[in-house]
Amino acid sequence: MGGQKENIDLQELPRHVAIIMDGNGRWAKQKGNRRIFGHRKALKAVREVLEGGVDIGLEFVTLFTFSTENWKRPKAEVHALMELLVKTIRKEVPTLMENNIRLRSIGHIEDLPRRAQRELSTAMDLTKQNDGLVLTLALSYGGRSDILQAVNKVAHQVREGKLNPGAISEADLRAQMSTSYLPDPELMIRTSGEFRISNFLLWELAYAEFYITDKFWPDFAREDLYEAIVSYQNRERRFGMISEQLKTL
């Protein structure tokens, strides 16, 4: 029997899939382990999604890796996460190269430990010529913070006389956001059964289709990605219009 892949219309793929990778700690606790054990096991799910995405031709995948609010977690867990980040980026560069994946990042990267910043910068530089799937890691990222910094940049342009304050457009603001190189996500996946977006891509998710699964992130597999895409393709995306209007477009 075939899996969900055979049900996917490769001509109607979402260009950009954004994922909130939730449930690592709870997955580990269910198994009687420390939370960091779940974070370590989460890497398998990342590989599954990336290799599955490459296989069907996804263009952009953005992973909510560490939020601005995650700094409030216990110091021991944050330290372990940062150490894991350093080791993971270094270890995964060959896999990124093999799959023609370009690595990029959004968020307050300057807040990360310097070793993590260096590893991330090196990995992005090594993969910058890859022209396949673009993988964006949202690190020390918050949607509100990103909108605020964009507003400040637009205000600066107004002060310099480069923008008319009475004619600022959505495009003007969008151009100043860290995600300006990305198309808006058409599909947002969240694991662990939580129904919230947790300050993730607040502007960009305006018309995204949401797919929520009860699975914890370490258990998420390629087949789950494909199931989410099939669900997305079975929906009617109206963008504020009615079905009859869509038929005339």
Q: What three-state secondary structure class fits 90? A: helix
Q: Write down how long the chain is.
A: 249
- CB-based contacts of 244, cutoff 8 Å, min separation 6: none
Angle at the Cα of 140 from the Cα atoms of 136 and 143, rounded to 5 degrees: 75
Q: Token digits for 218?
A: 């370490």
Catalytic residue among 22, 24, 99, 224: 22
21 by DSSP, 3-state: which?
coil
d(CA 97, CA 126): 8
Phi and psi, residue 111, nearest 5°: -80, -15
Closest to 107 (Cα-Cα) out of 97, 96, 120: 120
147 — phi, psi (to 5°)? -65, -40
What whole-number distance in Å separates Cα of residue 120 and Cα of residue 112? 10
Contact 81, 108 (CB under 8 A): no
Catalytic residue among 24, 55, 70, 152: 70
**Cα–Cα–Cα angle for 19, 141, 103, nearest 5°?**
65
Give catalytic status of residue 22 as yes or no: yes
Annotation says 130 is catalytic: no
Angle formed by the axes of helices 35-56 and 222-233, nearest 10°: 60
Catalytic residues: 22, 70
